[in-house]
Amino acid sequence: MKYLVGLLSLIISLQITSNVRIQTLDSWKIESYTPDALMVRKDSELNDNYLAFEMSRPFCICEDLSFIIYQDNEFKDEQEIEGKLSFNFLRSKKVTYKVYHADRDWFVLRLKNFPSIRKAEHLEIESPHFKDSFVITGLEQVMEQSKTMCESFIEYEQAEPKEIKL
């Protein structure tokens, strides 16, 4: 998890360059951040926040669902916040968000136990400290697309050639 928080910090501060940078027709972004790891993300409907998950080799499983939010609140690292997660404007479930400080006023919210979001088209996250909304139409397709990319074993970032002495 600390690896993901550090990585998100790098992405937020735009200190990395990605060779894979795709935006799907459903407006999902698939970006590389190492030769063997992709981040799939969807921007918020309300602000600069986004939700993200990781697709890494060798297992190629969508993992680490996170919400990356800009907040001027002083959250403590690894603080737990009670809130709710709502699906398609109808169902909501009480959840616990675990907060990780990423960079300056950016925080990563990880959900401890949550229901499947595969069939949802709209998500809302809420707590006394934040509220946000995400249209996640095309989630299953982007999961499959990133899995196909992961299983291809083509490096996501160009490796620098090295001189070989014979």
Residue 132 confidence (pLDDT): 95
The answer as to whether 11 is a domain residue is: yes
Domain count within the chain = 1
Residue 86 has pLDDT above 70, yes or no: yes
Rounded CA gap, 76 and 138, in Å? 34
Q: Which of 18-22, 57-61, 92-96, 128-132 has the lowest mean pLDDT?
A: 18-22
The answer as to whether 25 is a domain residue is: yes
Range of the structural domain that residue 34 is part of? 2-151
pTM of the model: 0.79
121: pLDDT confidence band, cut at 50, 70 and 90? very high
Q: Which residue has the higher pLDDT, 11 or 64?
A: 64
Rounded CA gap, 124 and 127, in Å? 10
Residue 14 confidence (pLDDT): 39
152: pLDDT confidence band, cut at 50, 70 and 90? confident
The answer as to whether 18 is a domain residue is: yes
CA terminus-to-terminus distance, the chain:
42
The answer as to whether 39 is a domain residue is: yes
Residue 92 has pLDDT above 80, yes or no: yes
The answer as to whether 156 is a domain residue is: no
E strands present in the chain: 21-23, 29-34, 37-43, 50-56, 62-70, 80-87, 91-103, 106-112, 122-126, 131-135
The answer as to whether 158 is a domain residue is: no
Query: Which positions ≥6 away from 103 have C-beta within 8 Å?
Result: 8, 9, 12, 13
Residue 19 has pLDDT above 70, yes or no: yes
The answer as to whether 164 is a domain residue is: no
The pLDDT of 109-137, averaged and rounded, is: 92
The answer as to whether 161 is a domain residue is: no
Residue 27 backbone zone (phi > 0: left; psi -120 to 50: alpha; other: beta): left
